[in-house]
Amino acid sequence: MTNERVFAMSFASVYPHYITKAEKKGRTKEEVDEVIRWLTGYTKAGFAKQIEKRTSLRDFFDKVPKMNPNASLIKGLVCGIRVEEIEDPLMQKIRYMDKLIDELAKGKKMEKILRSPE
Residue 112 to residues 39, 40, 118: CA-CA distances in angstroms? 13, 17, 9
pLDDT of residue 116: 75
Is 3-110 in CATH node 1.10.10.10? Answer: no
- Across 79-103, average pLDDT: 96
Q: Report d(CA 71, CA 114) in Å as an integer.
A: 9
pLDDT digits (tens, 9 = 90+) for 46-89: 999 999 999 999 999 999 999 999 999 999 999 899 999 999 99
The rounded distance, in Å, linking the Cα atoms of 38 and 71 is 9
